[in-house]
Amino acid sequence: MAVINGERVSIVPQSIAAYLKSAGYNEKRVAVEKNLRIIPRGKWTDEMIGEDDSIEILNFVGGG
């Protein structure tokens, strides 16, 4: 199982770009971290995620 934003999910190996698109994230407005390593936007089509990965997908919200 992969862990995506704290939730355990079963995913087939795929690129970050493919995952963001299929899951419905607003790709223009997120940053992605894989196993505590930031994956720059330019590498999303090459960087794969799979069953053992821990992924954080983040965006800006209102804050003080």
Partner 1 sequence: MEDKLILGGHEFTSRFILGSGKYNLKLIQAAVEQGGAEIITLALRRANTRESENILDFIPKGVTLLPNTSGARNADEAVRIARLSREMGCGDFVKVEIMHDAKYLLPDNYETVKATEVLAKEGFIVLPYMYPDLNVARDLQNAGAAAVMPLAAPIGSNQGLATKAFIQILIDEIDLPIIVDAGIGKPSQACEAMEMGAAAIMANTAIATAGDVPAMAAAFRKAIEAGRSAYLTGMGRVLARGGSASDPLTGFLR
List contacts with partner 1 (CB under 8 A): 5-6, 23-26, 29-31, 33, 36, 38, 40-41, 56-64
Q: How far apart are CA 12 and CA 32, in angstroms?
A: 18
Q: Residues with Cβ < 8 Å from 3, sequence gap 6 or more?
A: 9, 53, 54, 55
Minimum distance from CB of 42 to partner 1 (Å)?
A: 11
Minimum distance from CB of 48 to partner 1 (Å)?
A: 19
Nearer to partner 1, 12 or 40 (CB): 40
Place of tokens 């698109």: 21
